[in-house]
Amino acid sequence: MSPNEQDPRIVVLAGDGIGPEIVAAARGVLDAFGSFDYDEQLIGGASIDALGTPLSDDALTACRSSDAVLLGAVGGPKWDTTDPDAPRPEQGLLGLRKGLGLYANLRPVKPLPALIDASPLRRERIEGTDLLVVRELTGGIYFGRKSREPDSALDECVYTAAEVERIAVAAFEAAERRAGGTGTGRVTSVDKANVLETSRLWREVVSGMAERWPAVELDHLLVDNAAMQLVSDPSQFDVIVTENMFGDILSDEAAMITGSLGMLPSASLGDGGPGVFEPVHGSAPDIAGQGAANPLATFLSVAMMLRHGLDRGTDADRVEAAVEAALGGGLRTADLFTGSGGERRVGTAEMTEAVIAAL
Ligand code: IPM
Ligand code: MG
């Protein structure tokens, strides 16, 4: 279908490694829901190669005027360097998050019934897990002052009360929404308040806000303890809110509860403008170009885009149901394949066809 005036404008940032394959597959899924006006732009290593910068002004401007941004992945060994002056693909992603003001990163973790035995954790540990990591995305050590001397290096970690407050609002609201009619959600705020000054501010601000959501329960966990609890008893969590770097680490850890990092979607949202929707996994350069990548995290990110970016919750539900149906039928990409009976090992294309057919 060729785009019409009123079609949603989706900027597609395929990026590096398996990015182009999974994003092409995701467009196939999205096309089942009508016509979209796609605008392909460069990011990451692909952008460094073509334009000398990981994110061009043109690409950022296109994103700003879009309705939503669909992103694949960035990075790869080709651009890996410890030279502080060389451009890095990841700077493109960080520049995009900052440039669009996307301070709230939502990473839902819910093992699908069909995959419960694909997790390295025992079934009885993970059953009943349904949690949401709300990661602060535009502050903290990722964006602090950096410097490098021959024999020393500095990464500064700064948080303002206002930055903590707006991400906490996102977490409290998510807890309320997830609790549906009952309102009895729970927010676990994760910090390192026994050591870090930024964490002490974080804890004070979040605690001071709790009375505005009387039905939502608030508790605090130190990040090392949270890392341990996530694998020993993940079903205790509802909404986890935490700063940028802790959220980065804990969300990869939490991903394994779902069986594979290849299953985890994300939405990065700001106040009002377009969001960025991307799988949590990286560019997987080792399997790039082989047609073997698991496209499901990207499909689930498309579902988040439909729900949070385009206000089409019913369509989002349909994508999620279709992913479950394909897995329920036994299809498994290599990362999910356990070799048990009833499973059939497939590549990106066959998995994509099955999901589209299930729609
Ligand atoms: C993520 C990634 C990024 C991050 C990298 C690629 C910069 O790990 O989205 O979790 O650290 O935020
Ligand atoms: Mg990460």
| Shared domain check, 222 and 312 | no
**pLDDT greater than 70 at residue 168:** yes
The tally of domains found in the chain comes to 2
**Does the C-beta of 248 come closer than 6 Å to ligand 1?**
yes
Tell me whether residue 293 is in a domain: yes
Q: Which atom of ligand 1 is nearest to the CA of 73?
A: 6
pLDDT for position 85: 86
Between strands 239-242 and 131-136, the pairing is: parallel
Contact yes or no for 62/100 (Cβ under 8 A): no
Q: Is residue 2's pLDDT more than 60? A: no
**HSE of 54, CA atoms in CB hemisphere, 13 A:** 21
Ligand nearest 105 Cα, by number? Answer: 1
Question: Does 108 fall in a domain?
Answer: no
Name the pLDDT band for 183 (thresholds 50, 70, 90).
low
Same domain, 249 and 275: no
Report CA(246)–ligand 2 centroid distance (Å).
10
In a domain, 110, yes or no: no
- In terms of domains, do 166 and 254 share one? yes
pLDDT band, residue 3 (cuts 50/70/90)? low
Q: Yes or no: say if 18 and 288 are a contact pair by the CB < 8 Å rule.
A: yes
- Ligand 2 center–CA 160 separation, angstroms: 23
Which atom in ligand 1 lies closest to the alpha carbon of residue 97?
Answer: 12
Last residue of a domain, one of 226, 258, 290: 258
More confident residue, 258 or 37: 37
Going by pLDDT thresholds of 50, 70 and 90, the confidence category of residue 26 is: very high
Q: Can you give the residue range of the structural domain that contains 206?
A: 120-258
pLDDT-derived band at 180, boundaries 50, 70, 90: confident
**Do 150 and 89 have their domain in common?**
no
**Does pLDDT of 339 surpass 70?**
yes
Q: How far apart are the C-alpha atoms of 42 and 168, rounded to whole Å?
A: 32
Confidence of residue 113 (pLDDT cuts 50, 70, 90): confident
Which of 195, 229, 258 is at the close of a domain?
258
Q: Is the pLDDT of residue 1 over 60?
A: no
**Domain final residue pick, 215, 239, 258:** 258
Whether the per-residue pLDDT at 273 is higher than 90: the answer is yes
Do residue 64 and residue 143 come from a single domain? no
The pLDDT-based confidence of 30 (bands split at 50, 70, 90) is very high
pLDDT the model gives residue 244: 98
Q: Which residues are catalytic?
A: 142, 192, 224, 248, 252
Dihedral angle of Cα 30, 36, 42, 43, to the nearest 10 degrees:
-50
pLDDT of amino acid 287: 96
| 18 CA distance to ligand 1 middle (Å) | 16
324 CB within 6 A, ligand 1: no
Whether residues 178 and 231 share a domain: the answer is yes
Domain identity same for 166 and 70 = no
Pocket test for ligand 1, best of 13, 55, 80, 93 (most atoms within 8 A of CB): 93
CA distance 14 to 21: 8
Listed in sequence order, the residues at least 6 apart from 219 whose beta carbon sits closer than 8 Å to its beta carbon are: 186, 187, 188, 189
Please give the mean pLDDT across all residues of the chain: 95
Q: What angle do CA 256, 260, 262 make, to 5 degrees?
A: 130
Do both 146 and 199 map to the same domain? yes
Query: Which of 343, 266, 255 lies closest to 308, judged by CA?
Result: 266
Based on the fold, state whether residues 253 and 182 are members of the same structural domain: yes
Q: Is 311 found in the same domain as 226? A: no
Nearest CA to ligand 1 atom 4: 248
Mutation probe of ligand 1 site: the residue of 69, 248, 281, 301 with most atoms within 8 A of C-beta: 248
Give the CATH number of the domain where residue 64 resides.
Answer: 3.40.718.10
Q: How confident is the model at residue 181 (pLDDT cuts 50, 70, 90)?
A: low
**Residue at 214 is within a domain:** yes
Residue 345 is predicted with a pLDDT of: 96
For residue 282, give the DSSP letter: -
CB neighbour burial string for 112-150, b if at least 16 within 10 angstroms, e if fewer: bebbbebbebeeeebeebebbbbbbbbbbbbbeeeeeee
Task: Give mean pLDDT, residues 309-318.
Answer: 96
CB-ligand 1 contact for 253 (6 Å cutoff): no
Q: Are residues 3 and 27 in the same domain?
A: yes
pLDDT tens digits for range 199-233: 999 999 999 999 999 999 999 999 999 999 999 99
Ligand 1 contact via 93 beta carbon (within 6 Å): yes
DSSP conformational letter for 85: T
**How much distance in Å is there from the Cα of 136 to the middle of ligand 2?**
12
Q: Bridge-partner residues for 108, per DSSP?
A: 132
